[in-house]
Amino acid sequence: MKTGIIQQSLSGFYDVIADEKIYRTRARGNFRQRKIKPVVGDHVEFSAENQQEGYLLKILPRRNQLVRPPVANVDMAVVVTSAKEPAFSANLLDRQLIALEAQDVTPLIYFSKTDLLTDEEYQQLLPTIEGYRKIGYQVYAAREPFDADQLASLMEELKGNIVTMMGQTGAGKSTLLNHLAPQLKLATGEISQALQRGRHTTRKVSLLDVNGALIADTPGFSSYETFDMTVNDLPLLFPEMAKISADCKFRGCLHIKEPQCAVKEAVNNGIIMKSRYDDYLQFHELIANQKPNYKK
């Protein structure tokens, strides 16, 4: 019996990294019977006579698991965020950030396509960039999106970690990976003018060994609707709100209608970004109106 990490999932086969080799495996029938689905990043026990034929025996406990993209045991996530074509969406960025916060994954925000902005548009984006930095997020937003120093800084940050690239379709995830590791030569797609969405150029999830980091290049998405948390958990997933919520008059304050709320006061004083607070209110409403998901 061996232990390893699932590197790729494709058509019922799972490629597992172990002993600096890759073993092709299949899941035992009892996985399906117990409705257990292995995902990329899983630490597994498996048996293999050779590298072409093996069987998954057990999935070891997961530290975390993302739904979109479906990856387990993630240390960091690079949220590739388009500045233009498709247009920047703070709401979409915040949806991804709270999903990562909920799973204790460290987010890194990487603005792509900043070179498509006019100087005036770039200047208008800078306060938003600084706003996320003040929250405590690492933000990469050079005027040239693939600036050599910026890429070197990002790569140094990622070394030794399991990382996922995430972002909407057409944001430039594969393009960024190609700059980090040109030998990969990943396919990239253009934007559909009709929908302002890119073509899905990545159709499977796989971990790529990039200069000492295992990076998952994952399919993009055109919308992000994952809210697997309660309304009481939501304020904790906005670090800038969680930091000052102890100053609210009422314990368990949800920062909506309660009087003497430190968060609302911080929004009014420009300490908390209004766009973030508006997204918080929207997410709160969406979660409150979700139908319960009863697991069988």
296 among the known binding-site residues?
A: no
What do you get for the CA distance between the two ends of the chain, in Å? Answer: 32
**41 annotated to a ligand binding site:** no
Look at residue 266 in the predicted model and tell me its pLDDT.
98
Instruction: Tell me the CA distances in angstroms from 179 to 150, 183, 186, one per residue in order.
Output: 11, 9, 10
pLDDT at residue 111 greater than cutoff 70:
yes
Please tell me whether 248 is known to bind a ligand.
yes
Dist. CA 93–CA 141, nearest whole Å: 14
Q: Which of 175, 168, 173, 164 lies closest to 92, judged by CA?
A: 168
Give the fold, CATH level 3, of 2-59.
OB fold (Dihydrolipoamide Acetyltransferase, E2P) (2.40.50)
113 annotated as belonging to a binding site for a ligand: yes
- Looking at 29-43, 95-109, 197-211, 248-262, which range is the least confident one? 197-211
- Who's near 245: CB < 8 A, 6+ residues apart? 235, 253, 255, 262, 263
Least confident of 8-12, 116-120, 190-194, 249-253: 190-194
Tell me if 173 is assigned to a ligand binding site.
Answer: yes
pLDDT attached to residue 194: 36
Backbone angle region of 13, left / alpha / beta, with phi > 0 → left and psi within -120 to 50 → alpha: beta
CATH class of domain segment(s) 234-288:
mainly alpha
State yes or no: 220 annotated in a binding site. no
Question: Is 112 labelled as part of a ligand binding site?
Answer: yes
Q: Where are the domains of the chain?
A: 2-59, 65-217, 234-288
**12 marked as part of a ligand binding site:** no
- Superfamily assignment of 65-217 in CATH? P-loop containing nucleotide triphosphate hydrolases (3.40.50.300)
% of residues, the chain, pLDDT over 70: 89
- Give dist(CA 268, CA 76) in Å, integer: 32
Task: Tell me if 275 is assigned to a ligand binding site.
Answer: no
- The verdict on whether residue 3 carries a ligand-binding annotation is no
| pLDDT at residue number 202 | 42
15-24, 74-83, 168-177, 203-212: segment of lowest average pLDDT = 203-212
Tell me: is residue 4 an annotated ligand-binding position: no
Cβ atoms within 10 Å of 285's Cβ, excluding its own: 12
pLDDT of residue 292 exceeding 70, the answer is no
